[in-house]
Amino acid sequence: MNREPSRWQVREGSRPDLDHLDPGDTAGAPGDKWQTRKDSAGLVTGLADLQNRLWAEHRQSLLLVLQAMDAGGKDGTIRKVFTGVNPQGVRVASFKAPTTEELSHDFLWRIHKAAPGAGEIGVFNRSHYEDVLIARVDGLVPESVWRRRYQAIRDFEALLTDSGTTVVKVFLHISKDEQAERFRKRLDKPHKRWKFSSADLEVREKWDAYQDAYADALAATSTEKCPWYVVPADHKWFRDWAVLQILDQALADMDPRYPPEQAGLDSIVVV
């Protein structure tokens, strides 16, 4: 397994300059789009094998946190990356606006309930980071509240890792131009119009504020044990390959093992 994922990792204590990180970058890919897709197919096979071992071992778990601007590719990433895995062992949680019940608890209450159990891969399609992103940009809570949440998030993720969960966080970094193109395609294709909301354009108007909020959140919460990765995501084929690289490496480092077989199986005859 190569160490390619370190290319996109946000080092602890550093703040990524999103304005100068090229969302269209494809450096490190094994070739052109077609060669990279071929390589990704092999990574999917490897991911399925590692996930099978993780499920059988039933001791550790993996959490993938996906964040992005609207149309950043979270749904597509989940669909492409996990296409070959055993669905029994993968749970995807999507976090929308909190319900009345959720608002009556602390902001991490609903998140902790969705964390993966032993043997599982959990995927957060948006996450607890919305509470330091939209809550900040839209002024839903004062700065004194959302700023304290950085430490709460670090402590929460440290608790998960101490309990046997490997936490991997990926920010799918797209350009404003690419977002506009994807919005246009959603409007042009009837079967994709359901994914478009006029509210998306209101969020788009706050692009710079969100970029600042993301950069601060990544800087405050990327740690050695729970790192953030900023993946260039303008090219979907590169995005999928990069996320597969990150996940395959994380699972390989976890080194899940099949449980020992029951003694005496060689002498058993099934009739």
- Mean of pLDDT values over 207-231: 97
**Both structure tokens of 57:** 């071992």
* Residue percentage of the chain with pLDDT more than 70: 99
Buried b (16+ CB within 10 A) or exposed e, 101-125: ebeeeebbebbeebbbeebbbbbbb
Q: Work out how many domains the chain is built from and give that number.
A: 1
- Mean of pLDDT values over 162-187: 96
Q: How confident is the model at residue 267 (pLDDT cuts 50, 70, 90)?
A: confident
CA pair distance 265, 171, nearest whole angstrom: 47
CA pair distance 40, 46, nearest whole angstrom: 10
| Within a domain: 264 | no
**Both structure tokens of 163:** 């309990």
pLDDT tens digits along 66-109: 999 999 999 999 999 999 899 999 999 999 889 999 999 999 99
Domain ranges, residue 122: 4-254
* Residue percentage of the chain with pLDDT more than 90: 87
| Within a domain: 124 | yes
| Within a domain: 269 | no
pLDDT, residue 1, reads 39
| Within a domain: 259 | no
| Within a domain: 263 | no
CATH number at residue 148: 3.40.50.300
| Within a domain: 261 | no
Q: How confident is the model at residue 271 (pLDDT cuts 50, 70, 90)?
A: confident
| Within a domain: 262 | no
Q: Where are the alpha helices (DSSP H) in 72-197?
A: 74-81, 100-103, 109-113, 134-137, 143-162, 176-188
* pTM, full prediction: 0.94
pLDDT, residue 265, reads 84
Higher-scoring residue by pLDDT: 261, 257: 257
| Residue whose token pair is 């509470």 | 131
The beta strand positions in the chain, using DSSP E, are 9-10, 61-68, 90-94, 121-125, 165-173, 228-232
